[in-house]
Each structure stands twice: as C-alpha cells, then as structure tokens.
Amino acid sequence: MEMRVAAGRWTPLLLLATLLLASNLVSGSHFRYGTISWRPIDTGDAIDAGLDITSVDFDNLARHTVAFEFKAAYRRNYEWGKFFREQWRLPAGPNEENTQPWQDGGSCYTKDSCSVEVPATGSQNYQMFISEEEAIAAGSDIGERSYLEWQIKLAVGRSYYELNVTGPNINNEFSDTRRPCVSPFDTGDKPICLGTDPSGTVNSYPAGYYPVTQIDPTTNRPVPYDATYPNFVNADTVPCEKVDNADPDYCSPWSQTYGFFFGDNDDNGYPTSTDVVLTITDTNFEVTNVGNYLLGTSSFYHTYRKNGVPTKKKEDFTPWTAYFTGGNRLTYTTERLINNHQGRFRLELTVNLNYPGEVIGKQGYVPNNSPVMTALPVLPVPYTGRSEISANGMLATFQVAGFDPDIDIKAYQGSKLESNEKVYYYLGSPRKMGMLLANQVPDMKYPSRWNREDYEAARKECYQRSCAPTGADAAPFVLVGTGTPGKGATRDGSNAIPAGTNLTLGNNFTDLANGFPLFTYEGTCSECANGDRTCTSLRLLVDGFTTETPLNFTCERYKPWDNKLNLAHQPERLYLDRYSGVVQWETGINPRDVDNATYLTDFWNHRDSGDVSNTKYAKRLAAKGTQPSPEQEPLQPGFYNVVFDVRSYSHDPDCHLKVYDAATLGSISPHTGKAFTLPAPGNGGLYTEAQCKAVDDENMIDIAYVSVPLDFLLFLYPPASWCSKSKCRNTQAGITTFRDEGFYGTQNDVNVLSTGSCTICGGGEWNLYDVSAAGLTDKQLNLTDYTVCLQDDDCKYDFDTVAITPAIEADICKRNTPPKWVDQASAGNDDGNTPTPRLADRPTWSTLRVVPSDPTSALASDPFIDGVPIENVYPGLALFLGQRSSEVRFNLTAVDEDDCVEMQILPIGLFRGYTMYNLDTDGVPTASQACSYASSFAGNDGNIGSTCPYNMKLEFIKRIGTTNQFYRTFVWSANNTLPQVQDPRPPNVVVCFIPFDNYQVGIRRCVNIILLSERFLYWIDARAKLTDVFSGTNDAFNTIVEDCNATRIAGSNENRYQNPCHYTPADLTTFYVSPNHTLEFYMTALQDSGNPPIGIYISEGGTMRANGTVGPPEGATFEYLEYDDKSGKTHLRDPAKRRFTWTPKEGQQCKYVLCFIGNNTRELEESIEFTSTFFWTRPFVPIPALLDERCYTIVVADQQLALQAGSFVDAAAALPSLTSDCGMTFSMWFFPEGTTTMPLATFGYTKPGETDNIVYMLEWDPVTAVVFHDGITVQDLGQYYRLKFSTGQSYIIQTDAEFCVNEWHFLTFTIAPNGNFVLYLDGVETTHYSDDDRDFHVVAVETGSMPVVDGKVEIIGDILNNNPGYTGFLRIGSFDAVQTFNGMIGDVRIYSRVLTAEEIGAKQFVPLTATSEVGLEAYYKFNDGSQADNTLGNPQGNFNKYRAQPPASADPDCNLAGDTFCNNDVRDAPEGPFGSEMKAKGQSVTDLSGNNNHAIGCDDANCRKESTMYFVFGPSPITPPCPQETSPDVVHVDGGTPIAISGIGFARSQWLKCSFSMSDGSIKVIKAVHSDNSTIICANPGSPDLTVSALEVTNGGVNFFTNFQIPIYMMERVVSFPETGGKVTIKDACDMIGTNLFSMGAWVYPLSQSSSALEDVISLIGMTSNDQTGLLSVRYDGVRFVVHEKIGNTETALGESPDAPAHNMGEGSGWHYVMLSGNTDRLVLYMDGESTELTATSISLSTCDLELGTTTTGRKAFFGYVEEMSAFSGFLNACDSYQIMWGN
C-alpha cells in the first residue's frame, strides 16, 4: 500500500484541560446518547398514569394513554444545575416512592421556574457527580457514591425560563413563548413596526403587520407562519412590535427550547409537555472520551387528546409527533465532534395508537407498540482501511440493536425468529437530528449563528477583520474587557507597543504594574486563504486569572453556507442497511494517509438498497479486489454524531381506507425533503394495504409507520498498539491515548479486569497536530512508533547488530485486536462459557441483507460474505432454557488474544422479545417502568442493588486463572415459592451483551431466555382424561367442551364426543377429498402454564415460502381462531386453535403428507416444550408425555359412481332442454364389469297410468368372436363387446365387436336437427389402429339417420315439451330390475347442441369448465360422496376421514391409535376407503353446469332393493395421475428395464402411457401396464446417451401432467451396493497387480452422508509375506474419500481427497472418479482429476483379492453405485488417470 499524506488539514487543538473549564461552553457539551419508545398502557399502569379506574370513561382514556420509556446519557462531571433549570435529588429508600427534595444550582431565576430551591446557596450549588478519587483529590470525602437511583430533572423551558407569557410592556405588547416554533428557522421574534422600508418610505407597512423576512435555507422560501398563532394573517406576513427587541415574541425557537413535548395541546390550546425525571442506572467515572457519563431512564404517561377528546392520532393522515429537545452537542475545538458540533439534539418519534385486533378482527394480541432501541452512549470505532477488517470482518462495521415487541400474527409460525414485527432502519433526516448547528464564526465564539443570514454576516465581518490589508484601521489590538481598539493601534502594530515586543500569535501585551493583559494581538495577513488568521479571542477565567486565547478564521474552514454542512448531517461515507441495521463506514486507514488499496471485502451500499420496484437487498458499491478512484481521503479522527430513524408498521387502517389528497395534505416529506410515495394509480386516491405495510419504503407517508429515534456518538481513532509483553518489560510509559496515560492493562475494579501493563507504542489517540507542521515525530503524529518500546532497557532485541525492519516493528509493537466470546463447546451445553447460537439459529442469506439478491448465485448459499462469516455481521440468537419460578444463571466468557488486556463485559439491553416490567416480590405486576440495568454495577459480592425485585443482574467480572479469559455471571432471580404458573417474569426475553477491551467492541451476543414449565403442552383430542387434567381449573378448556356439545352415550365409561368438535385429529389420520370440495380440520392445543402464546404450525410437507417458513399447500389456509372463557376474556392463544381449510382444484389430485407441531415459545422448534401426548394405564396412572408431531395424509382424488344389480341415477331434469331446434349431444365415461348385455343410458318417458316408453337406449353388448372354416369352428377368440344404440321404434346402430370389459370407455352420440346421427366410442378417429401399433386402443365411429317427421327429427325434449303430462327419465346405469348395469360411471355431459368431432376429441380427456361451455345443460362428475350420512360418518364437510390403525385395545380412555373421537371401543372412522362407505341411493348428484339440473340416485322404492350404488374414490382417464416414486430410478441407457411407478390416480385405461424426455429434446411415449390404481409399469425406452429423463404419466394418452415429474437416470450399467451391504470380489488380484506397483480406479456414486463410520469402496485384502492380514482400502466418510492401510491389528490413515459430496447433498451429479496408484516410494489418490499425495504405504501383500464394497463384520458397507472398475500393474500419473477417467 502506498502511504501518502492526505491533502486535508485540521486545525491544531487548544489545551483541552484549559478549555473544558470555560463556563460559556459547558452548557452545550453534555448530551451523549438518547432514545425514546412508547407502549399503550395496561391496567397495571392506570394508577401511575393518574387515571381513575372507577370512571365510566376509564376504558376510553386508557386506550388513548401511552407509557413513554426514555433513555439518555449525559456527561457526568458537568455543572449540573447551572443551566437549563436542571435539578437533582437523592435516591429513595428500598421499595419507596422518592420524596426527597429537589436541589438546583441557581438556574431557576424565579421561584415558579423550578419546583423547589434547596438549599438556597446561590448560583454555585452545582452538582458534578464526582467520584471518590476526585473528591479525595479535592480534599474532601464524599463517601460511597455510585449515584445509582439518584434522579435528575430535565425541565421544559427556554434559556433560563419556562415557556411563558411576559408583558405587557409600555405599548401593551405581550410575549408568548408557550408554543415551540414550528419551523426550526423561525426565531419567534416579531420585527419592529416603525422604520423605513427598502424603498425609503416611512411607516408604509400594513397596520400592525410586517412582511416575512426569515428564509428557510432548505427551501429558499420565507419561513411559514403557523396558523395556530394569535393574530395570524397569512403565510407571508407576521405581527410586528412597536418596541423592538431580540427576544422571541410569539413562539419559542428551536435554538433555545428544551424539554419533552407530547405533540398535542392542552385545554387552552397550548402544547402539552413534561419535565423528564431521569433515574440514574449507570455511572461511568472514567474521564475518557468514551466514558465519563451518566446513563439513566425515565418512564412517564400521557393521554392524547384533540379538542379535549381522547384520540389516537392528530389527523387522519398525521400521527402525533412527540420529541425531546435540548442542546447543545459537543464542540469541535475542545471535544472534537466532527459533524453537528454545538448542534441542537431532537429525539423525535411518532405516536399512533392502533389496536390491530380492531383492524384485522379479534386476534388476541396486544395493541401496537413502538420499536425499542438501545446502544452504547459512545461506540469507539478504529480506522479500518480497505485492505483491513474490523471485528465484524467488513471494513468498519457495526450493527444497531432494535426490536418491535409486537408479534406479527401472520408471520408467527409458532417458533420462528422473525415472529416479532419487523423493524426498518434509516439514517435520521436533518430535522430528526435537531436541524440547527451553532455555526459560530470562529468556532467557540458566541453568539451562535443558527440561521444562514446570521452566519453569512458573521463570516463577512470576520473576514474583514482578519484579512484587512496592513496599515488599515482594523484595530489589531483589542482592549480587554471593552471590545474596543487600543489607543493609536494600527494593523501593522507600529503604535502602543513597546519596542522589541515579541508579537507572536496569541501573545498578550500586559500591564506590568497590575499583571493583567490589556491587549491581544490578532495577527496580520495579506490574504485570508493563506492560513489561519486571528479574528477574535476567547476570554477564559483559569485559576482566578482572566486570559484571552486567539480564535482563528480561515476561508477554507468557514466557507459560504452549505445546507449539507451548516445544518445537521450524518457522518460521511456511512451506509446503513435498512433491513438488518448493519452499518458500514469507510473511514480510511489512519488520520494522515490516503487509502488507495484494493478492497479486501465487497463493499455494500445499504442505504440505497430499498428500491422496492426491483430488489430489497443491498447494492454493491465496490467489489473485492477493486481499487478506488479517486483515492480516498481519511476522515478526521474524533467524535461523530449519528442518528437513526427506526420504524415499524403502524397498523393504521386509515392509511388504506381513506382517500389521500396530496394537494391538500402535501406531497413532500418534511423529514427527507423528498416526494411522498403516493397512492397507486387507478385506486381512487386510496393507498393499497400492501403500500401501507411497505415500511421499507422510506418515502411512505408518516401514518403508515411509527418511528423512534436512536442518537449516539461514534468515536473514530487510530487503532491502538503496545509493546509486546514477551519482548519487553513494559516499564516505561508510552503514548498517551484517550483511554490511558501511556500504559495499557492497568485498570482493575469490579467492572474492568486487566492482565498487567503494556507500554502504548501507537494509536488510540485523537488529539492530533497539523500533519504539515515541521519537526513533528511519528510519536506526535500518533502513528505506530517502535522506538517507544526501545525506551525499555529490557526489550529483548540487540539493536546494535539488528536493523529494525517492518517485520521486527510489527513483532515488538503489536496492534490491538478485538475481544471475542468463548463459546460453549456445543450449543446448550452449559460448560461455563458463553451461550452459543446453534447452527439452526444462524441466519440464512434471505435474512441477511448484505448479500446479493440473486438466490441462485454462489454467495446466496455460502455461509460467508466474501470471506466474512455471516455470524460476524448477524450473529444470531443463543438459546438458554430456564425454569419458571427458578433462577436463571449463566456465564458470559470472553477472551482477548492481545499481550495485555483491559476487559469489560457490558449489557446493551433488550434486542428482541418482551419488555421487562417492574415486579413485586409476591409476583404481582405493579408499575410498568421498564427494569433497568442498574445492578450491572455490582459490588464484590456480585449482588448489590436492583431497580426491580426480579431485575436481571451481572456479577462482577472475574479472570480465569492467569489466562486472558474473563467472565461475568448473568443472574435473573426468581421467587421460588411461587407456583410456576404464577411466575410473573416474561417467559420469552432476549438480552444482549458485548465484550469491550476499552478500545474495540467485540461482536454482539444476544441470548434468548425461555422459561419452561413442568406442565406439558397437550393436543386436545377428546380423550376423557384430559377433562381430569384441566376441568375445574381451566375455564378455557371447559368452554371447549361445552362448545363441542359433548353427547354422553349410554353405558359406563362411554363419553364419546360427537362432531362438530374442534379436536385435533389423531396422528396418521388420512383424509380424502375431491376437487372443488372443502377439507377442514382443527389443530387445538392447551398447556395452561402461563407461557402463551402457543403456536401451531406446519412442520413438514407444506409449500416452502420465500421467508423460509413452511406454509399450507397452494390454495389452502391455516388460520388462528380464538377461545373465550365464560367471562368473555380472550385468551392469548392458550389454548390455541388453528383451522386448516383447503378446497383443492382440478389438477391437484395427488397424495400430500402434512405434519403439524405446536409449542409455547417463539424460538426454534428444538426448544423442548412442544405438543405432547400422554398415556394412561389402569388404574389410570399417568406416564410421561411423549413428543407428538401429528402427521396426516391428504389424498385429493376423483370419485366415480359404482352400480350393481339394478341401480341407476335419473338425470331427467336436463331432458326438456334437448330439442330439435339445435339437436343434442350426450357423452359419458363408463367402466363395464359384467359379461351380459347391459344398458348404459336410457332416455324415455312415462304416460300417466302406463309403463315406461323408451326413446333411446345405449347398451353394452357381448359378442363371442370365433373363426370358421368351411362351417366348422376353428378357434374361439373369446368375448368382445360392442356399443348398440336403439330407439323406441327399434332403430338400431352398433359398432363392431372390438372392445373389452374392465377398462374405461368413452361414448358419445349426437342427433342433428336434420336427423343425422353419429355414434362415437373411445374416440373420433375414423381409422383403427393395428394390434402391433404402440397405441393399442381402437375407436368406432358409426353414422346413420333418425326418423324425420314433417322435415324435423323428434328429440326427447320435444316429446316432453309437447306433452305436459308426460314424465321424462334418463336412467344412467340400469334400466330396471332385469336390465341391469354392473360397473362404474364417470363424467356425464349433456349438450343442447351438436358437438363436432373435433370438439368431442378435444374434450374427451379434459374436465370441463362450465362457464366456458356453450349449450352445456348438465355436467355430472359424481364427486358427491362423503361419510356424512354413515353411522361412523364425518358431518363436518364433504370429505372423508380414515383411522391410522385398528384399535390397540378396548380401553375406554382411548389408546385407539388413529381414532379421533375415541373414549370407547367403537371406531369413529374406517381404516381406509371401502366400496360401500358412501351410499348414492337416494342421494342428489350435483349438476356442475350451473343450470341446477341435478340428478338423483334411485332408492329402494324405484329400483331393485337388492341393488347397490355407491360413490367410490378412483381415477378415470380424465384424472391427472400423480406419480411419486419409481423403482429403479437408475436404468441402463440400452433400454428395456421395467420401471415400477407408484403414486395415486392411475386409471385402468387403454390410453395409460408414460413419456420420457430425451437428451436431444425429443419425447418417447410408452404404453403403461396397469397393476392397480397406485402402481403401473413402463419399460425404459433407452437413450442414445447418458441423460436424466423427466418421466410423466397420463391416463388419457395425450395430456401429460408436468406438475408431477419424476427424474429417471439413464446411465451405463452399474453395480448397485445396498445400504445393508454388498460385495464384488476379484480373486487373486495380486497375481495381476501388487501393492508395490499398482493402480486401481472406478466411477463411484456415493449415496450416504453418514460420517459415523468409513465405508469400504475399493480394497486390496490378503496376506503379507510374514503371514499377517493386510488391507489397503479406499473408503468414503460421507464427505470425502480416505485411504487406510491395516497390517495385523494396526490401522493407519494415509490421507484423504478433497470434498466429494454425495448425490443427496445437492451439489454436482454425485459421480466421482477415484483412482489409487502406488509404488514403493509414492502413493497418490486421484479424485475427479485432482491428485492428492498420500503417505506411502508400507504394506506388501503376497496374495490378495480386490473387493468392491464389503460384507465383512466390523467394516461398514458402501452404499451407492460403482462402474467401470479398472486395475493396472503399474504406477499411473495424473495424465494417465485423466485419460482413463474419460475412457481415452
């Protein structure tokens, strides 16, 4: 890397110790960190919030009251009470309300401006919160002072005063500053009315008003005047005042206002506000740049009102905007805040009180909460160049910690990490950063220049003064105390200065008699840009003496106003990913040198990653290995202020239910200055619900989200280095840094432990000098300086003889490294180390937004981000399982690998989970103040102090022996006398910690603590003993039983629950449902342990969603329902009920297996408390519960109508529509099973009092086929069948007898208006296929003419329409008790028009869509069957349920496996589908045409009593088959191998075929052999080359269903080795090859992933020359091939190959070529062409066999395939192996 001095220059710093005492600076330098969150109150908050719980309006008030949680850090040793009306008081006693008196420091100028003044000690009663050491140094003893629980009051006011009304003055004018100004640029000062306008006219303004002159620099327009102010005229004019002054008149300006404002108004129309009482929870006494602070929290309440009426927001599209404001931030000159120095801070958040249950429907979850944020007050960040990595591994990278306590019901899958509502991270806008900066010219010179006009005027004045030409009357000497020039002074200093006076910069000329300075020399210059020039001076009082220090002015430093610099702004080159909170900061390599190195890692622009129209992932700024252009200048060292705007979904329904009028409501965001995202076009001015939920759209309107701030400091510094402890004694102090006085490793107290001193030899410092100054050493420049180490007399290098090289420098002057966690050896194993995230808890690429959005890219599945482990950027959650009513305790262990260590382990708050609340010792929740981390500062016993009785604590830090490992013990106490169900601690919380070595912060570790209960979580499934467990103690369970309308059946111990029970089905239950019918069942679970919510979710078998969760099949829903107990109280999902509903569509016919599980946590599914099943033994003694994942089979199958012995379905309702006007068409699928003549369909009518009259009849007619020769029967060919059509006049047309029974046939006939008749059977082609063709089915098309009367054919509809007394019939199936049909009927279609042959052919194998059919009068699919009307039926819906197994016993308490409603020994469901379960006699058959021409099954009164008719599950040729498995799945390319295909929906069809895709893109179709409805056989057609073929199946010959494809591997012949063991032996192999000179190889296809034992693949086994057993073997360990030798009982590993994944690992084809080649000197393993040199074998076999696989006991069998085995009696090199590998 080239090192060059950067072009930038920074001003030399003044003496820090001197300037920190400047009283006019301290007021602006004490704020460090702040964040605010809010939540709706609960009933426990009511008293604290001041609400009357007996009031009739209590509920309404409570629903509009919020609890604010405020966290902030301030400088500790600041003069508290001197400014801003601050007060403080001592802590209260244990468990007492604080009634201590408030004290102040005199900044309350009136009695009313502070609560109380005690003691009245004037203006010097400041509180400095000094440490014991500081007190002792000052000569006093203040005793124990941790200051924990002390309180500081942060008042509301302006300057030294309250926001108030003053006046009237002599002109009866009032000043009213009770309202903060709306615009940050509004001074609130009325202009004077009198005067001359720009035209010179006196008193020309309108009476009492003056034009607006203040300009908003962000818009360059006049500052808008707030219409709520009195006397408002318009946006262009403001009231004027007769007597002018600079004080605000009508509002309190941002630059002077401080305090907390809620955003609404009181009853008088003035803004509501509150004093914030900050309770100190942490005191840092280290006077360093990252320490020396007070950290505190505050909780307070507010009821939001508008015009006196409680309301949830300000306007329809405007939330309440609350904020805490004050100032100022750190300075630049004295405290080195690079951006926003001396700026105002403004913690701004939005409040929108929505109760999602009101919006979405009762969901049983809490109202909407804001996000919650946390951070260190000051986060140190070392410079990290492009060629370096940070603790996280990616430039200078850190992550913001935040969460939303709300649970996202739709994303909640029972246990997934993302069940909390998502939060989105943005960099705060200038407004949310406070907007205004002091802009002093020069810096540190008051007054502050908040507005552009003031700044430009001051800049002009300073330029004129400091850059005036020599000799001009510019008063270079200023008289101290007067501000006027000295007598006779000129710019060249020729007068008033004694001769010989040394006039150097900042030198004072003093009155020698009095010893006080009289004049200060301001310097001279010819032009300003040449360098620093003195503009004025700063007067300071130091040790009782007044001194003046020059303040410089440089044109380069004080440039013309730029909004990007002169208003609040974020640090340069800082990028934020809005999805994960990951921040990357390109800092440069050090403060001095440019960075022109190439990037070590990819650099991502997270901030610009929210393009919702494209992807929501990060975009890459620069790729690894690229070089920047231009070279990157370094950032300045020091502090940087950063503000984050963190958002979550508001759940506000107005966002998408009310019209947004952009013209009225605005189209520009006041926060970003960018255009709002407006409603989608064509939606009537309404936002879509999706738009309102798109919180990752930065420009969405405010009402769509709630927003909270996080404001803290970054401290950028050169990485620290120190002398090696192993090389030097480290007795000499080195460079002074921001943490230490030249030594590191010297701090030891209860919070920091050290290992011993090291001399600091570089870095860690930010007090840099101008790098251009001459004569400065590296030490002064704070770069690594090994010579510091050489000051030590005992540094172990002889530098007289050894030249110092960079390598030696790095060896003796070592750079600091960040601390790391010491993880548990295995996750969940409490071995005293830090709880560790399990592999399953690590995020995938889909949850980490700093990887490419393309899921197919290599990075997408890589656990590294360009070499950076994912866990470094998004560490995941560690899981700790605790017990309710028991203490939680675990260690947090960290290590720092540096020579010297100063270690801290700090809590950084809750990351995700529930907010902790105050809890009394009796377990009753009281106040809602969030528990703090007060007791993190524990005493020597590790258990001192606690804000909350059940607060979380960290014991003091301890060192492990003499190692560099340290630990702190985390403790969460509990009341162990309480029953577990009464433990008030939240059962699911997340706490986070960091290791900190006082320079660098390690990676955050968050621990998910789950408190488990001893009460099991049960499925509710109608077992009687569940009532014994829960009845009487659980109202919710009793309500379940009552709601179920339990029916007691006569007999002892028979309490059988009948439907409609919402009980959980038994494990392995099978459901059958037909397309367009609805399957519905419920999953219900109960625990009653106090650990809600219970989650129930699909664990296996569903569809994989984009977010990684498993959802129901396509079209299905799985929704939570609620239980209410008798009191009407909603339970938060304990018990839980979730309803599965699915109406499958055509094309989804298949078998699906879904598994369900439930648990009571929101962690991953391994977290133990899952749904269980308990069993009982007589006399009903419970045994332990068993984990119970309920798995169900869902079969989507068509139904057919099965008829026997005289039954039929009458479809007469459709007949009147069949007339001669358009003709008719009739089609039906049928499956004949009888061997006699059988009617198929009979059309006719009955006259009153007469018998049936047949109009048309279709019959299936058997014919015995014989061959005659000269009248003698030569051969009987058996029975064939034909289709006959006859009319009432005995007109007959028939097909040839070429058809068979016991297979499906399709008949169609059409009658045209002119009498033309066409009869089709099994198709529309007019040619027949020959017997030797692959398509063996034949078709018949017969034509004829029907009788025509008066030029018109008479069709059945005409007869019925012309004879009103006639009753028509269309009997499908049997005609009567004699003429019967045996078999099945499928689709029946009736049209009132003539279909063409083309239409008939196109529709033959396709289910109809009624809405697209013309003339379709009736359509029957016969999917009407269900168990509903059977004795053991299922009346919940039109689906069937089947038990898993027969009864296991007759136990009335139901050990009947698979019996859902058991409780007795009577089965409540059959074991599987059977022929007579769904009766069709007397049942309606639905007409799917939409014409309601429903058919009816005959009953015993009108068809033969002995006949049967049932709906049965089974396929027909129009059913899409669903193949699921094949055997084998690897076949030879030569073809001919029978392939058994299993699945469902295989029809016994003459069109049943398989198709195979070929490598050249062609398709081969093979006729299939039908075994049964779940198995068929197809022959492998072969392939010209190796290929993976897609196998598809059709029942209809033409329509293959690509939804269900199975791969078939067509390969050369291989040897298959089963998992149980197999072996191929080549005897006496050593006669051909030997172990001293050999090569043996083969193609190997491993199927196993097991690494528990090595699998023998290729082995030489035999006897050595000294008669010992010898073995040389290539083995597979599930990942790679390894080589072992064994002589006698001694086995040795000789080496291994690179990774060789098995086929089922999803990488590559699975085939690998493996060859082992050896001679007396070498042994080489070739794998896929790569060679690995192994340890040469020492084995020598005299006789041996070559074995593939093994069956030997004690050796693991190879599982997979082997082919092309070859062996050579010679050593082959890599080229030889490669040629043999590819057959060359």
pLDDT tens by residue, 1514-1552: 999 999 998 888 888 778 777 888 889 988 899 999 889
**CA–CA separation, 416 vs 1157, rounded Å?**
13
- Binning pLDDT at 50, 70 and 90, where does residue 468 land? low
Pick from 283-292, 737-746, 917-926, 1557-1566: least confident? 917-926
How large is the average pLDDT for residues 1597-1607?
Answer: 72
pLDDT tens by residue, 1073-1111: 999 999 988 888 877 665 566 778 887 776 654 444 566
pLDDT attached to residue 1135 = 76
**CA–CA separation, 1195 vs 101, rounded Å?**
76
Question: Is residue 1404 within 8 Å of 1323, Cβ to Cβ?
Answer: yes
* Dihedral-angle region of residue 1038 (phi above 0 means left; psi in -120 to 50 means alpha; beta otherwise): alpha
**CA–CA separation, 668 vs 219, rounded Å?**
12
* Dihedral-angle region of residue 1760 (phi above 0 means left; psi in -120 to 50 means alpha; beta otherwise): left
* Dihedral-angle region of residue 1042 (phi above 0 means left; psi in -120 to 50 means alpha; beta otherwise): alpha
* Dihedral-angle region of residue 235 (phi above 0 means left; psi in -120 to 50 means alpha; beta otherwise): alpha
pLDDT attached to residue 50 = 79
**CA–CA separation, 1776 vs 1713, rounded Å?**
13
- Binning pLDDT at 50, 70 and 90, where does residue 984 land? low
* φ/ψ of residue 366, rounded to 5: -75, 160
pLDDT tens by residue, 141-151: 665 567 888 99
Give the DSSP per-residue string, 718-768.
PPPEEE-TTT----S---B-SS-BSEES---SSS-EE---EEEEE-S---P
- Binning pLDDT at 50, 70 and 90, where does residue 750 land? low
Contacts of 85 (CB under 8 A, 6+ apart): 104, 107, 108, 113, 114, 155, 157, 160, 161, 162
**What SS3 class is residue 337?**
strand
Question: Is residue 65 within 8 Å of 355, Cβ to Cβ?
Answer: no
1669-1686 burial string, b = 16+ CB within 10 Å, else e? ebbbbbbbbbbbbbbbbb
- Binning pLDDT at 50, 70 and 90, where does residue 350 land? very high
pLDDT attached to residue 1515 = 94
**What SS3 class is residue 95?**
coil
How large is the average pLDDT for residues 857-881?
Answer: 55
pLDDT attached to residue 1027 = 53
Could you give the angle at the alpha carbon of 1694 between the alpha carbons of 1688 and 1697, nearest 5°?
140
**What SS3 class is residue 16?**
helix
**CA–CA separation, 1463 vs 1021, rounded Å?**
10
- Binning pLDDT at 50, 70 and 90, where does residue 833 land? very high
Contacts of 1077 (CB under 8 A, 6+ apart): 1143, 1144, 1423, 1437, 1438, 1439
**CA–CA separation, 990 vs 879, rounded Å?**
9
Place of tokens 């025509």: 1348
* Tokens describing residue 1339: 């078709």
* Tokens describing residue 37: 């969150």
**CA–CA separation, 1511 vs 1492, rounded Å?**
20
Amino acid at 500: G
> CA of 1079: how far to CAs of 335, 1435, 1439, 1441, 1444, in Å?
70, 12, 6, 10, 18
pLDDT attached to residue 1056 = 33
* Tokens describing residue 72: 């902030």
pLDDT tens by residue, 383-432: 998 888 777 777 888 888 787 877 654 433 333 334 567 888 999 999 99
pLDDT attached to residue 91 = 86
pLDDT attached to residue 207 = 55
- Binning pLDDT at 50, 70 and 90, where does residue 1124 land? very low
Greater model confidence, 663 or 1658:
1658
pLDDT tens by residue, 1187-1234: 677 888 899 999 999 999 999 999 999 999 999 999 999 999 999 998
**What SS3 class is residue 1043?**
helix
Q: Which of 91, 189, 202 is nearest to 144 (CA)?
A: 91
* φ/ψ of residue 1556, rounded to 5: -125, 130
How large is the average pLDDT for residues 285-296?
Answer: 85
How large is the average pLDDT for residues 39-55?
Answer: 74
| E strand map for 1463-1516 | 1484-1485, 1495-1497, 1508-1513
Q: Using omega within 30 degrees of 0 as the cis cutoff, is the peptide bond preceding 447 cis?
A: yes
Q: Which of 397, 848, 389 is nearest to 618 (CA)?
A: 848
**CA–CA separation, 1278 vs 1017, rounded Å?**
66
Query: In what helix (H) or strand (E) does residue 1152 lie, and over which residues does it extend?
Result: strand 1151-1159
**CA–CA separation, 1618 vs 1527, rounded Å?**
14
**CA–CA separation, 1241 vs 1252, rounded Å?**
14
Greater model confidence, 1134 or 1195:
1195
**CA–CA separation, 974 vs 921, rounded Å?**
9
**CA–CA separation, 940 vs 751, rounded Å?**
10
> CA of 139: how far to CAs of 134, 292, 1142, 1148, in Å?
9, 21, 81, 87
pLDDT attached to residue 1069 = 83
- Binning pLDDT at 50, 70 and 90, where does residue 1700 land? confident
Question: Is residue 288 within 8 Å of 996, Cβ to Cβ?
Answer: no
Q: Using omega within 30 degrees of 0 as the cis cutoff, is the peptide bond preceding 60 cis?
A: no
Give the DSSP per-residue string, 825-849.
SSTT--SSSB--B-GGGS--GGG-T
- Binning pLDDT at 50, 70 and 90, where does residue 1663 land? confident
* φ/ψ of residue 721, rounded to 5: -140, 155
Give the DSSP per-residue string, 1724-1739.
EEEETTEEEEEPPP--
- Binning pLDDT at 50, 70 and 90, where does residue 87 land? confident
Question: Is residue 1594 within 8 Å of 1552, Cβ to Cβ?
Answer: yes
Contacts of 690 (CB under 8 A, 6+ apart): none
* Tokens describing residue 634: 């370094």
Pick from 315-324, 1198-1207, 1736-1745: least confident? 1736-1745
What is the total residue count of the chain?
1784
Greater model confidence, 1335 or 1018:
1018
pLDDT attached to residue 1073 = 93
Please list the alpha-helical segments (H only) found in 496-587. 563-566
Question: What is the 8-class DSSP label of residue 196?
Answer: B
pLDDT attached to residue 1345 = 77
pLDDT tens by residue, 1235-1254: 889 999 999 999 988 888 99
**CA–CA separation, 371 vs 406, rounded Å?**
8
pLDDT tens by residue, 558-614: 888 899 999 999 999 888 878 778 888 999 888 878 888 888 777 665 444 333 333
* Tokens describing residue 380: 């140190």
pLDDT tens by residue, 235-268: 677 777 776 677 888 889 999 999 999 999 998 8
Q: Which of 998, 818, 991 is nearest to 904 (CA)?
A: 998
* Tokens describing residue 1146: 């055509």
Contacts of 652 (CB under 8 A, 6+ apart): 313, 319, 352, 354, 692, 703, 704
